[in-house]
Structure 1
Amino acid sequence: MTSARRRRTRRRSVLNALAVLAALVWVFPVYWMVNTAFVPTSELFGLTPKFVPFPGTFKHFSGVLQDDKFWSALRMSAAVTSVVVVLAVLFGFMAAVAASRFRFKGRGALVMLVIVVQMLPAEALFISQFRMLDDWNLLSTVTGLSLLCLGGNVPFTMWLLRGFIDNIPAELEEAAMVDGCSRVGAFFRVTLPLLGPGLITSSVFAFLHTWNEYNLALIVMTKTDHATLPLWLRSFSSETSATDWGGVMAGSALIAIPVIALFMSVHSRMSSGLVAGAVKG
Protein backbone atom coordinates (compact mmCIF):
# COMPACT_ATOMS: atom_id res chain seq x y z
CA MET A 1 0.00 0.00 0.00
CA THR A 2 1.45 3.35 -1.04
CA SER A 3 1.80 6.28 1.35
CA ALA A 4 -0.83 8.27 -0.59
CA ARG A 5 -3.34 5.44 -0.25
CA ARG A 6 -2.58 5.11 3.46
CA ARG A 7 -3.21 8.82 3.92
CA ARG A 8 -6.53 8.56 2.09
CA THR A 9 -7.52 5.55 4.19
CA ARG A 10 -6.56 7.34 7.40
CA ARG A 11 -8.46 10.45 6.34
CA ARG A 12 -11.55 8.41 5.44
CA SER A 13 -11.42 6.65 8.80
CA VAL A 14 -11.27 9.96 10.65
CA LEU A 15 -14.18 11.36 8.64
CA ASN A 16 -16.22 8.22 9.24
CA ALA A 17 -15.56 8.43 12.97
CA LEU A 18 -16.65 12.09 13.01
CA ALA A 19 -19.79 11.20 11.06
CA VAL A 20 -20.66 8.45 13.54
CA LEU A 21 -20.08 10.86 16.46
CA ALA A 22 -22.30 13.50 14.84
CA ALA A 23 -25.01 10.88 14.22
CA LEU A 24 -24.91 9.84 17.87
CA VAL A 25 -25.33 13.47 18.93
CA TRP A 26 -28.40 13.79 16.69
CA VAL A 27 -29.92 10.47 17.69
CA PHE A 28 -29.42 10.82 21.46
CA PRO A 29 -32.35 13.26 22.06
CA VAL A 30 -34.69 10.88 20.24
CA TYR A 31 -33.37 7.93 22.24
CA TRP A 32 -33.74 9.86 25.51
CA MET A 33 -37.31 10.83 24.61
CA VAL A 34 -38.30 7.20 24.01
CA ASN A 35 -36.32 6.02 27.04
CA THR A 36 -38.03 8.52 29.35
CA ALA A 37 -41.45 7.50 28.04
CA PHE A 38 -40.89 3.99 29.43
CA VAL A 39 -39.41 5.04 32.80
CA PRO A 40 -41.87 4.93 35.75
CA THR A 41 -42.81 8.31 37.19
CA SER A 42 -41.25 7.43 40.54
CA GLU A 43 -37.85 7.01 38.89
CA LEU A 44 -37.88 10.01 36.55
CA PHE A 45 -36.36 12.40 39.06
CA GLY A 46 -33.73 10.04 40.43
CA LEU A 47 -30.15 11.29 40.69
CA THR A 48 -28.89 8.32 38.68
CA PRO A 49 -30.19 8.34 35.08
CA LYS A 50 -31.56 5.11 33.63
CA PHE A 51 -30.20 4.54 30.16
CA VAL A 52 -32.13 1.27 29.79
CA PRO A 53 -35.74 1.43 31.07
CA PHE A 54 -35.90 -2.08 32.51
CA PRO A 55 -38.44 -3.36 33.41
CA GLY A 56 -40.13 -0.20 32.16
CA THR A 57 -43.79 0.77 32.02
CA PHE A 58 -46.44 1.43 29.38
CA LYS A 59 -48.47 3.59 31.75
CA HIS A 60 -47.51 6.84 30.02
CA PHE A 61 -48.46 5.55 26.59
CA SER A 62 -51.75 4.09 27.83
CA GLY A 63 -52.57 7.40 29.50
CA VAL A 64 -52.00 9.24 26.23
CA LEU A 65 -53.98 6.78 24.12
CA GLN A 66 -56.92 6.89 26.55
CA ASP A 67 -57.06 10.70 26.40
CA ASP A 68 -59.89 11.84 24.13
CA LYS A 69 -58.14 15.20 23.65
CA PHE A 70 -55.20 13.39 22.05
CA TRP A 71 -57.41 11.91 19.33
CA SER A 72 -59.17 15.22 18.82
CA ALA A 73 -55.81 16.99 18.41
CA LEU A 74 -54.62 14.22 16.09
CA ARG A 75 -57.63 14.71 13.82
CA MET A 76 -57.10 18.46 13.83
CA SER A 77 -53.40 18.20 12.97
CA ALA A 78 -54.08 15.59 10.28
CA ALA A 79 -56.75 17.77 8.68
CA VAL A 80 -54.64 20.93 8.66
CA THR A 81 -51.53 19.13 7.44
CA SER A 82 -53.38 17.36 4.62
CA VAL A 83 -54.93 20.60 3.37
CA VAL A 84 -51.66 22.53 3.54
CA VAL A 85 -49.50 19.86 1.87
CA VAL A 86 -51.88 19.44 -1.08
CA LEU A 87 -52.54 23.13 -1.66
CA ALA A 88 -48.96 24.28 -0.98
CA VAL A 89 -47.54 21.84 -3.52
CA LEU A 90 -50.29 22.70 -6.03
CA PHE A 91 -49.96 26.49 -5.77
CA GLY A 92 -46.19 26.39 -5.39
CA PHE A 93 -45.91 24.14 -8.44
CA MET A 94 -47.99 26.46 -10.63
CA ALA A 95 -46.02 29.50 -9.47
CA ALA A 96 -42.72 27.69 -10.06
CA VAL A 97 -43.76 26.76 -13.61
CA ALA A 98 -44.66 30.37 -14.34
CA ALA A 99 -41.39 31.69 -12.91
CA SER A 100 -39.27 29.09 -14.70
CA ARG A 101 -40.83 28.53 -18.10
CA PHE A 102 -42.48 31.84 -18.97
CA ARG A 103 -40.74 35.12 -19.72
CA PHE A 104 -42.66 38.14 -18.47
CA LYS A 105 -41.89 41.56 -17.09
CA GLY A 106 -41.06 41.48 -13.40
CA ARG A 107 -40.14 37.79 -13.31
CA GLY A 108 -36.87 38.49 -11.51
CA ALA A 109 -38.63 40.80 -9.07
CA LEU A 110 -41.17 38.07 -8.32
CA VAL A 111 -38.46 35.58 -7.43
CA MET A 112 -36.68 38.19 -5.29
CA LEU A 113 -39.97 39.01 -3.55
CA VAL A 114 -40.44 35.34 -2.68
CA ILE A 115 -37.00 35.29 -1.06
CA VAL A 116 -37.69 38.52 0.85
CA VAL A 117 -40.98 37.13 2.18
CA GLN A 118 -39.07 34.20 3.67
CA MET A 119 -36.88 36.65 5.60
CA LEU A 120 -39.80 38.31 7.43
CA PRO A 121 -40.06 37.17 11.07
CA ALA A 122 -43.32 35.33 11.62
CA GLU A 123 -43.84 37.10 14.95
CA ALA A 124 -44.15 40.45 13.16
CA LEU A 125 -47.33 39.25 11.45
CA PHE A 126 -49.13 37.67 14.39
CA ILE A 127 -51.31 40.66 15.30
CA SER A 128 -52.43 41.34 11.74
CA GLN A 129 -53.05 37.63 11.10
CA PHE A 130 -55.13 37.30 14.26
CA ARG A 131 -57.25 40.34 13.43
CA MET A 132 -57.73 39.16 9.85
CA LEU A 133 -58.98 35.73 10.90
CA ASP A 134 -61.12 37.26 13.65
CA ASP A 135 -62.86 39.49 11.10
CA TRP A 136 -63.47 36.47 8.87
CA ASN A 137 -64.70 34.30 11.78
CA LEU A 138 -61.97 31.75 11.08
CA LEU A 139 -60.40 31.53 14.53
CA SER A 140 -60.16 27.97 15.90
CA THR A 141 -60.93 26.46 12.49
CA VAL A 142 -59.05 24.19 10.13
CA THR A 143 -59.53 26.74 7.36
CA GLY A 144 -58.01 29.60 9.36
CA LEU A 145 -54.89 27.73 10.48
CA SER A 146 -54.46 26.17 7.03
CA LEU A 147 -54.61 29.59 5.42
CA LEU A 148 -51.79 30.94 7.57
CA CYS A 149 -49.66 27.83 7.13
CA LEU A 150 -50.15 28.09 3.38
CA GLY A 151 -48.78 31.62 3.47
CA GLY A 152 -45.57 30.30 4.97
CA ASN A 153 -45.25 27.19 2.80
CA VAL A 154 -46.18 28.34 -0.71
CA PRO A 155 -43.25 30.79 -1.19
CA PHE A 156 -40.70 28.21 -0.08
CA THR A 157 -42.33 25.48 -2.18
CA MET A 158 -42.33 27.76 -5.21
CA TRP A 159 -38.66 28.63 -4.74
CA LEU A 160 -37.70 24.99 -4.23
CA LEU A 161 -39.63 23.63 -7.22
CA ARG A 162 -38.34 26.39 -9.47
CA GLY A 163 -34.84 24.99 -9.00
CA PHE A 164 -36.04 21.54 -10.09
CA ILE A 165 -37.85 22.86 -13.16
CA ASP A 166 -34.87 25.00 -14.18
CA ASN A 167 -32.72 21.89 -14.02
CA ILE A 168 -34.84 20.13 -16.67
CA PRO A 169 -33.93 21.32 -20.20
CA ALA A 170 -36.74 23.09 -21.99
CA GLU A 171 -35.54 21.39 -25.19
CA LEU A 172 -37.23 18.18 -24.00
CA GLU A 173 -40.60 19.92 -24.13
CA GLU A 174 -39.78 21.52 -27.47
CA ALA A 175 -38.93 18.12 -28.93
CA ALA A 176 -42.27 16.76 -27.72
CA MET A 177 -44.05 19.75 -29.29
CA VAL A 178 -42.33 19.00 -32.59
CA ASP A 179 -43.77 15.47 -32.36
CA GLY A 180 -47.27 16.89 -32.02
CA CYS A 181 -47.78 17.62 -28.32
CA SER A 182 -49.30 20.88 -27.17
CA ARG A 183 -47.39 23.14 -24.79
CA VAL A 184 -49.37 21.87 -21.83
CA GLY A 185 -49.27 18.26 -23.01
CA ALA A 186 -45.49 18.38 -23.48
CA PHE A 187 -45.03 19.68 -19.95
CA PHE A 188 -47.26 17.09 -18.31
CA ARG A 189 -45.99 14.17 -20.39
CA VAL A 190 -42.26 14.98 -20.35
CA THR A 191 -41.35 17.39 -17.55
CA LEU A 192 -43.82 16.49 -14.82
CA PRO A 193 -42.69 12.82 -14.50
CA LEU A 194 -39.12 14.07 -13.98
CA LEU A 195 -40.26 16.31 -11.10
CA GLY A 196 -41.20 13.40 -8.83
CA PRO A 197 -38.26 13.85 -6.42
CA GLY A 198 -38.89 17.59 -6.27
CA LEU A 199 -42.59 17.17 -5.52
CA ILE A 200 -41.80 14.62 -2.80
CA THR A 201 -39.15 16.88 -1.26
CA SER A 202 -41.43 19.92 -1.18
CA SER A 203 -44.29 17.81 0.22
CA VAL A 204 -42.09 16.54 3.06
CA PHE A 205 -40.98 20.06 3.97
CA ALA A 206 -44.60 21.28 3.94
CA PHE A 207 -45.62 18.30 6.08
CA LEU A 208 -42.91 18.91 8.67
CA HIS A 209 -43.56 22.64 8.86
CA THR A 210 -47.31 22.17 9.37
CA TRP A 211 -47.28 19.05 11.56
CA ASN A 212 -44.88 20.68 14.05
CA GLU A 213 -46.34 24.20 13.86
CA TYR A 214 -46.80 25.67 17.33
CA ASN A 215 -46.73 29.47 17.21
CA LEU A 216 -49.44 29.94 14.58
CA ALA A 217 -51.59 27.28 16.23
CA LEU A 218 -51.20 29.05 19.57
CA ILE A 219 -52.44 32.31 17.99
CA VAL A 220 -55.26 30.86 15.90
CA MET A 221 -56.62 27.97 17.99
CA THR A 222 -58.11 29.92 20.87
CA LYS A 223 -60.47 27.10 21.92
CA THR A 224 -58.95 24.26 23.92
CA ASP A 225 -61.06 21.62 22.18
CA HIS A 226 -59.64 22.69 18.80
CA ALA A 227 -55.97 22.26 19.70
CA THR A 228 -53.41 20.65 17.43
CA LEU A 229 -50.92 18.07 18.70
CA PRO A 230 -48.15 20.56 19.65
CA LEU A 231 -50.71 22.57 21.64
CA TRP A 232 -52.12 19.41 23.21
CA LEU A 233 -48.70 18.65 24.72
CA ARG A 234 -49.16 21.69 26.96
CA SER A 235 -51.85 19.80 28.87
CA PHE A 236 -49.11 17.87 30.70
CA SER A 237 -47.90 21.06 32.35
CA SER A 238 -49.89 23.50 34.46
CA GLU A 239 -49.30 26.21 37.03
CA THR A 240 -50.85 24.16 39.83
CA SER A 241 -49.09 20.80 39.30
CA ALA A 242 -45.72 19.43 38.33
CA THR A 243 -45.01 18.65 34.69
CA ASP A 244 -45.78 15.06 33.73
CA TRP A 245 -42.54 14.41 31.85
CA GLY A 246 -43.41 10.79 31.20
CA GLY A 247 -46.62 11.86 29.48
CA VAL A 248 -44.81 14.57 27.54
CA MET A 249 -42.24 12.12 26.24
CA ALA A 250 -44.82 9.46 25.41
CA GLY A 251 -46.94 12.00 23.56
CA SER A 252 -43.90 13.35 21.73
CA ALA A 253 -42.89 9.83 20.69
CA LEU A 254 -46.36 9.14 19.29
CA ILE A 255 -46.38 12.48 17.45
CA ALA A 256 -43.02 11.63 15.89
CA ILE A 257 -44.21 8.29 14.47
CA PRO A 258 -45.86 9.76 11.33
CA VAL A 259 -42.75 11.86 10.65
CA ILE A 260 -40.44 8.85 10.98
CA ALA A 261 -42.73 6.70 8.83
CA LEU A 262 -42.82 9.39 6.15
CA PHE A 263 -39.04 9.71 6.06
CA MET A 264 -38.55 5.96 5.91
CA SER A 265 -40.90 5.69 2.94
CA VAL A 266 -39.52 8.56 0.85
CA HIS A 267 -35.94 9.12 2.09
CA SER A 268 -34.26 7.79 -1.07
CA ARG A 269 -36.38 9.92 -3.40
CA MET A 270 -35.98 12.92 -1.11
CA SER A 271 -32.17 12.61 -1.04
CA SER A 272 -31.96 12.52 -4.82
CA GLY A 273 -34.40 15.40 -4.98
CA LEU A 274 -32.36 17.62 -2.68
CA VAL A 275 -29.22 17.00 -4.74
CA ALA A 276 -31.00 17.55 -8.04
CA GLY A 277 -32.65 20.73 -6.90
CA ALA A 278 -29.33 22.18 -5.75
CA VAL A 279 -27.69 21.90 -9.16
CA LYS A 280 -29.37 24.87 -10.74
CA GLY A 281 -31.74 27.55 -9.58
Structure 2
Amino acid sequence: MSLKSVATSFYTLLAVVIALAWAFPVYWMLNSSLLPNSTLQSLTPTFLPFGGSLDNFTSVFKHNDGSFFTALGISLTVTLSTVAIVLFIAFLGALAISRFRFKGRKSFILALLLIQMLPAEGMFIAQYKMMSSVGMLNNVIGLTVLYTAAVVPFTIWMLRGFVAGVPAELEEAAMVDGLSRTQAFLRITFPLLAPGLVASGVYAFLQAWNEFTVALVLMDGENQTLPLWLRGFVQSSATRETDWGMVMAASTLVAVPVIIFFLLVQSKMSSGLVGGAVKG
Protein backbone atom coordinates (compact mmCIF):
# COMPACT_ATOMS: atom_id res chain seq x y z
CA MET A 1 0.00 0.00 0.00
CA SER A 2 1.41 3.36 -1.03
CA LEU A 3 2.03 6.20 1.36
CA LYS A 4 -0.68 8.24 -0.37
CA SER A 5 -3.27 5.49 0.19
CA VAL A 6 -2.32 5.23 3.86
CA ALA A 7 -2.67 8.99 4.29
CA THR A 8 -6.06 8.95 2.53
CA SER A 9 -7.31 6.13 4.73
CA PHE A 10 -6.09 7.91 7.86
CA TYR A 11 -7.81 11.19 6.99
CA THR A 12 -11.00 9.33 6.04
CA LEU A 13 -11.02 7.53 9.40
CA LEU A 14 -10.30 10.80 11.20
CA ALA A 15 -13.20 12.49 9.39
CA VAL A 16 -15.54 9.65 10.37
CA VAL A 17 -14.48 9.88 14.03
CA ILE A 18 -15.01 13.66 14.06
CA ALA A 19 -18.42 13.27 12.39
CA LEU A 20 -19.47 10.67 14.97
CA ALA A 21 -18.27 12.88 17.83
CA TRP A 22 -20.27 15.76 16.37
CA ALA A 23 -23.43 13.68 15.83
CA PHE A 24 -23.36 11.83 19.17
CA PRO A 25 -24.94 14.64 21.27
CA VAL A 26 -27.83 14.81 18.81
CA TYR A 27 -28.28 11.05 18.98
CA TRP A 28 -28.04 11.10 22.78
CA MET A 29 -30.72 13.78 22.97
CA LEU A 30 -33.09 11.75 20.77
CA ASN A 31 -32.26 8.50 22.56
CA SER A 32 -32.83 10.03 26.00
CA SER A 33 -36.14 11.56 24.92
CA LEU A 34 -37.52 8.04 24.44
CA LEU A 35 -36.42 6.67 27.83
CA PRO A 36 -38.14 7.03 31.22
CA ASN A 37 -36.54 9.24 33.85
CA SER A 38 -35.71 6.26 36.07
CA THR A 39 -33.54 4.79 33.31
CA LEU A 40 -31.80 8.11 32.66
CA GLN A 41 -30.90 8.45 36.35
CA SER A 42 -29.28 5.02 36.41
CA LEU A 43 -25.49 4.87 36.78
CA THR A 44 -25.37 2.56 33.74
CA PRO A 45 -25.86 4.49 30.49
CA THR A 46 -28.43 3.21 28.01
CA PHE A 47 -27.24 3.70 24.44
CA LEU A 48 -30.25 2.16 22.68
CA PRO A 49 -33.88 3.07 23.48
CA PHE A 50 -35.12 -0.51 23.80
CA GLY A 51 -38.39 -0.46 25.72
CA GLY A 52 -38.68 3.27 25.20
CA SER A 53 -41.86 5.17 24.39
CA LEU A 54 -43.24 8.54 23.34
CA ASP A 55 -44.53 9.30 26.85
CA ASN A 56 -42.04 12.13 27.34
CA PHE A 57 -43.30 13.88 24.21
CA THR A 58 -46.89 13.45 25.37
CA SER A 59 -45.99 14.98 28.73
CA VAL A 60 -44.29 17.91 27.01
CA PHE A 61 -47.39 18.67 24.96
CA LYS A 62 -49.54 18.57 28.11
CA HIS A 63 -47.10 20.62 30.20
CA ASN A 64 -48.69 23.86 31.49
CA ASP A 65 -51.84 23.33 29.42
CA GLY A 66 -50.05 23.11 26.08
CA SER A 67 -47.68 26.02 26.59
CA PHE A 68 -45.38 24.46 23.95
CA PHE A 69 -47.70 25.48 21.14
CA THR A 70 -47.95 29.03 22.47
CA ALA A 71 -44.16 29.32 22.65
CA LEU A 72 -43.84 27.70 19.21
CA GLY A 73 -46.23 30.23 17.71
CA ILE A 74 -44.33 33.15 19.24
CA SER A 75 -40.95 31.80 18.09
CA LEU A 76 -42.19 31.18 14.55
CA THR A 77 -43.78 34.61 14.34
CA VAL A 78 -40.70 36.43 15.63
CA THR A 79 -38.21 34.34 13.61
CA LEU A 80 -40.01 34.42 10.25
CA SER A 81 -40.76 38.14 10.63
CA THR A 82 -37.12 38.82 11.47
CA VAL A 83 -35.88 36.82 8.47
CA ALA A 84 -38.23 38.58 6.05
CA ILE A 85 -37.45 42.09 7.31
CA VAL A 86 -33.70 41.46 7.59
CA LEU A 87 -33.42 40.09 4.05
CA PHE A 88 -35.38 43.02 2.63
CA ILE A 89 -33.31 45.68 4.41
CA ALA A 90 -29.98 43.89 4.01
CA PHE A 91 -30.57 43.23 0.31
CA LEU A 92 -31.21 46.90 -0.41
CA GLY A 93 -28.24 47.88 1.75
CA ALA A 94 -25.93 45.42 -0.01
CA LEU A 95 -27.06 46.70 -3.41
CA ALA A 96 -26.40 50.28 -2.36
CA ILE A 97 -22.85 49.76 -1.12
CA SER A 98 -21.91 47.40 -3.97
CA ARG A 99 -23.46 49.15 -6.96
CA PHE A 100 -23.22 52.84 -6.04
CA ARG A 101 -20.43 55.15 -4.97
CA PHE A 102 -21.59 57.78 -2.50
CA LYS A 103 -20.10 59.99 0.19
CA GLY A 104 -19.58 58.11 3.44
CA ARG A 105 -19.73 54.68 1.79
CA LYS A 106 -16.50 53.42 3.34
CA SER A 107 -17.47 54.79 6.73
CA PHE A 108 -20.78 52.98 6.50
CA ILE A 109 -19.05 49.69 5.67
CA LEU A 110 -16.64 50.19 8.57
CA ALA A 111 -19.56 50.96 10.90
CA LEU A 112 -21.15 47.62 9.98
CA LEU A 113 -18.04 45.83 11.25
CA LEU A 114 -17.69 47.96 14.37
CA ILE A 115 -21.30 47.30 15.37
CA GLN A 116 -20.55 43.59 15.45
CA MET A 117 -17.84 44.23 18.04
CA LEU A 118 -20.28 45.67 20.59
CA PRO A 119 -21.15 43.12 23.31
CA ALA A 120 -24.88 42.39 23.32
CA GLU A 121 -24.95 42.39 27.13
CA GLY A 122 -23.78 46.00 27.20
CA MET A 123 -26.94 47.14 25.40
CA PHE A 124 -29.53 45.30 27.51
CA ILE A 125 -30.34 48.26 29.77
CA ALA A 126 -30.60 50.69 26.86
CA GLN A 127 -32.76 48.26 24.90
CA TYR A 128 -35.02 47.65 27.88
CA LYS A 129 -35.53 51.37 28.54
CA MET A 130 -36.10 52.06 24.84
CA MET A 131 -38.75 49.34 24.51
CA SER A 132 -40.33 50.43 27.79
CA SER A 133 -40.61 54.04 26.61
CA VAL A 134 -42.58 53.02 23.51
CA GLY A 135 -44.72 50.41 25.28
CA MET A 136 -43.18 47.35 23.59
CA LEU A 137 -42.06 45.35 26.60
CA ASN A 138 -43.31 41.77 26.55
CA ASN A 139 -44.33 42.35 22.95
CA VAL A 140 -43.65 40.25 19.85
CA ILE A 141 -43.18 43.35 17.69
CA GLY A 142 -40.64 44.82 20.10
CA LEU A 143 -38.66 41.57 20.19
CA THR A 144 -38.71 41.39 16.38
CA VAL A 145 -37.38 44.94 16.15
CA LEU A 146 -34.43 44.14 18.43
CA TYR A 147 -33.64 40.91 16.60
CA THR A 148 -33.75 42.71 13.26
CA ALA A 149 -31.42 45.45 14.49
CA ALA A 150 -28.97 42.83 15.77
CA VAL A 151 -28.88 40.72 12.60
CA VAL A 152 -29.05 43.34 9.83
CA PRO A 153 -25.42 44.66 9.97
CA PHE A 154 -23.72 41.30 9.46
CA THR A 155 -26.31 40.23 6.89
CA ILE A 156 -25.57 43.34 4.82
CA TRP A 157 -21.88 42.50 4.99
CA MET A 158 -22.58 38.92 3.96
CA LEU A 159 -24.81 39.85 1.03
CA ARG A 160 -22.35 42.50 -0.15
CA GLY A 161 -19.99 39.75 -1.29
CA PHE A 162 -22.68 38.07 -3.37
CA VAL A 163 -23.84 41.31 -5.00
CA ALA A 164 -20.28 42.36 -5.78
CA GLY A 165 -19.72 38.98 -7.43
CA VAL A 166 -22.41 39.59 -10.05
CA PRO A 167 -21.00 41.90 -12.76
CA ALA A 168 -23.10 44.97 -13.47
CA GLU A 169 -22.29 44.43 -17.14
CA LEU A 170 -24.83 41.59 -17.21
CA GLU A 171 -27.63 44.05 -16.49
CA GLU A 172 -26.23 46.52 -19.01
CA ALA A 173 -26.16 43.83 -21.71
CA ALA A 174 -29.76 42.89 -20.95
CA MET A 175 -30.77 46.56 -21.17
CA VAL A 176 -29.10 46.78 -24.57
CA ASP A 177 -31.32 43.87 -25.64
CA GLY A 178 -34.40 45.88 -24.75
CA LEU A 179 -35.10 45.19 -21.08
CA SER A 180 -35.71 47.97 -18.63
CA ARG A 181 -33.39 48.33 -15.64
CA THR A 182 -35.98 46.71 -13.36
CA GLN A 183 -36.59 43.84 -15.79
CA ALA A 184 -32.85 43.27 -16.20
CA PHE A 185 -32.39 43.16 -12.45
CA LEU A 186 -35.29 40.76 -11.83
CA ARG A 187 -34.50 38.43 -14.74
CA ILE A 188 -30.69 38.44 -14.71
CA THR A 189 -29.25 39.59 -11.39
CA PHE A 190 -31.81 38.46 -8.85
CA PRO A 191 -31.72 34.71 -9.80
CA LEU A 192 -27.93 34.78 -9.44
CA LEU A 193 -28.27 36.27 -5.94
CA ALA A 194 -30.82 33.69 -4.75
CA PRO A 195 -28.20 31.34 -3.16
CA GLY A 196 -26.77 34.31 -1.24
CA LEU A 197 -30.21 35.27 0.01
CA VAL A 198 -30.80 31.70 1.19
CA ALA A 199 -27.45 31.54 3.00
CA SER A 200 -28.13 34.91 4.65
CA GLY A 201 -31.65 33.79 5.52
CA VAL A 202 -30.28 30.71 7.27
CA TYR A 203 -27.98 32.90 9.35
CA ALA A 204 -30.84 35.23 10.30
CA PHE A 205 -33.12 32.27 11.08
CA LEU A 206 -30.62 30.64 13.44
CA GLN A 207 -29.82 33.91 15.21
CA ALA A 208 -33.49 34.66 15.87
CA TRP A 209 -34.56 31.09 16.64
CA ASN A 210 -31.81 30.34 19.17
CA GLU A 211 -31.58 33.76 20.84
CA PHE A 212 -32.14 33.62 24.58
CA THR A 213 -30.78 36.62 26.51
CA VAL A 214 -32.65 39.45 24.76
CA ALA A 215 -35.90 37.48 25.00
CA LEU A 216 -35.20 36.87 28.69
CA VAL A 217 -34.84 40.61 29.30
CA LEU A 218 -37.80 41.70 27.17
CA MET A 219 -40.41 38.94 27.51
CA ASP A 220 -42.28 37.84 30.61
CA GLY A 221 -45.18 35.67 31.73
CA GLU A 222 -46.77 33.48 29.08
CA ASN A 223 -45.16 35.36 26.19
CA GLN A 224 -42.10 33.13 25.91
CA THR A 225 -40.05 32.04 22.96
CA LEU A 226 -39.05 28.38 22.78
CA PRO A 227 -35.59 28.88 24.38
CA LEU A 228 -37.26 30.55 27.38
CA TRP A 229 -39.93 27.85 27.48
CA LEU A 230 -37.24 25.15 27.41
CA ARG A 231 -35.51 26.72 30.40
CA GLY A 232 -38.54 25.87 32.53
CA PHE A 233 -37.86 22.15 32.11
CA VAL A 234 -34.29 22.44 33.35
CA GLN A 235 -35.04 24.48 36.45
CA SER A 236 -35.58 22.36 39.53
CA SER A 237 -37.45 23.18 42.69
CA ALA A 238 -37.04 21.96 46.26
CA THR A 239 -39.78 19.38 45.80
CA ARG A 240 -39.22 18.25 42.20
CA GLU A 241 -36.14 16.96 40.46
CA THR A 242 -35.44 17.82 36.85
CA ASP A 243 -37.21 15.39 34.53
CA TRP A 244 -34.43 14.83 32.02
CA GLY A 245 -36.62 12.69 29.80
CA MET A 246 -38.97 15.62 29.31
CA VAL A 247 -36.02 17.99 28.90
CA MET A 248 -34.62 15.88 26.09
CA ALA A 249 -38.03 15.50 24.46
CA ALA A 250 -38.57 19.27 24.66
CA SER A 251 -35.08 19.88 23.22
CA THR A 252 -35.87 17.55 20.33
CA LEU A 253 -39.08 19.44 19.59
CA VAL A 254 -37.21 22.75 19.62
CA ALA A 255 -34.71 21.35 17.11
CA VAL A 256 -37.34 19.95 14.72
CA PRO A 257 -38.29 23.27 13.01
CA VAL A 258 -34.61 24.02 12.40
CA ILE A 259 -34.10 20.60 10.81
CA ILE A 260 -37.16 21.08 8.59
CA PHE A 261 -35.90 24.52 7.55
CA PHE A 262 -32.47 23.13 6.66
CA LEU A 263 -34.00 20.32 4.60
CA LEU A 264 -36.01 22.85 2.61
CA VAL A 265 -33.07 25.15 1.80
CA GLN A 266 -30.02 22.88 2.01
CA SER A 267 -29.38 22.70 -1.75
CA LYS A 268 -29.46 26.47 -2.21
CA MET A 269 -27.57 27.00 1.05
CA SER A 270 -24.63 24.84 -0.08
CA SER A 271 -24.20 26.71 -3.34
CA GLY A 272 -24.65 30.00 -1.52
CA LEU A 273 -21.93 29.31 1.03
CA VAL A 274 -19.51 28.22 -1.71
CA GLY A 275 -20.41 31.24 -3.81
CA GLY A 276 -19.87 33.60 -0.92
CA ALA A 277 -16.44 32.10 -0.28
CA VAL A 278 -15.11 32.93 -3.76
CA LYS A 279 -16.90 36.20 -4.46
CA GLY A 280 -16.48 39.70 -3.13
The interval holding the TM-score normalised by the smaller chain is: over 0.9
Q: In the alignment, which residue of structure 2 is the partner of 1:274?
A: 273
CA offset digits 1:58-101 (Å, max 9, x no partner): 21100112231111101100110111010001101000000111
The Cα of 1:15 is off from its aligned counterpart by 1.5
Q: In the alignment, which residue of structure 2 is the partner of 1:264?
A: 263
Equivalent-residue separation in structure 2 for 1:16 and 1:114 (angstroms):
40
Equivalent-residue separation in structure 2 for 1:106 and 1:16 (angstroms):
50
Runs of 4+ aligned structure 1 residues displaced above 4 Å come to none
Scaled by the length of structure 2, the TM-score of the pair is 0.95
Q: In the alignment, which residue of structure 2 is the partner of 1:134?
A: 132
CA root-mean-square deviation: 1.3
Q: Secondary structure at the match of 2:222?
A: helix
CA offset digits 1:6-32 (Å, max 9, x no partner): 333222222211111111111011011
Q: In the alignment, which residue of structure 1 is the partner of 2:230?
A: 233
Counting matched residue pairs gives 276
The Cα of 1:264 is off from its aligned counterpart by 1.9
Q: Secondary structure at the match of 1:242?
A: coil
Q: In the alignment, which residue of structure 1 is the partner of 2:184?
A: 186
Q: In the alignment, which residue of structure 2 is the partner of 1:18?
A: 14
Matched, 1:155 2:122: no
Q: In the alignment, which residue of structure 2 is the partner of 1:48?
A: 44
CA offset digits 1:157-180 (Å, max 9, x no partner): 111111001111111111112223
CA offset digits 1:116-139 (Å, max 9, x no partner): 111111101100000100111101
Equivalent-residue separation in structure 2 for 1:109 and 1:15 (angstroms):
45
Equivalent-residue separation in structure 2 for 1:119 and 1:148 (angstroms):
17
Q: In the alignment, which residue of structure 2 is the partner of 1:254?
A: 253
Query: Is residue 86–residue 152 contact of structure 2 (8 Å, CA) maintained in 1?
Result: yes
The Cα of 1:259 is off from its aligned counterpart by 0.8
CA offset digits 1:212-250 (Å, max 9, x no partner): 11111101102x210011000122223333212111110
Scaled by the length of structure 1, the TM-score of the pair is 0.95
Equivalent-residue separation in structure 1 for 2:104 and 2:182 (angstroms):
23
The equivalences for 1:58-69 within 5 A come to 58-67=54-63, 68-69=66-67
Equivalent-residue separation in structure 1 for 2:165 and 2:83 (angstroms):
23
Q: Secondary structure at the match of 1:151?
A: helix
Equivalent-residue separation in structure 2 for 1:227 and 1:35 (angstroms):
27
Query: Is residue 61–residue 67 contact of structure 2 (8 Å, CA) maintained in 1?
Result: no
The Cα of 1:203 is off from its aligned counterpart by 0.9
Matched, 1:202 2:200: yes
Equivalent-residue separation in structure 2 for 1:134 and 1:93 (angstroms):
30
Equivalent-residue separation in structure 2 for 1:83 and 1:176 (angstroms):
34
Query: Is residue 79–residue 205 contact of structure 2 (8 Å, CA) maintained in 1?
Result: yes
Q: Secondary structure at the match of 1:131?
A: helix
The Cα of 1:209 is off from its aligned counterpart by 0.9
Q: In the alignment, which residue of structure 1 is the partner of 2:110?
A: 112
Query: Is residue 128–residue 217 contact of structure 2 (8 Å, CA) maintained in 1?
Result: yes
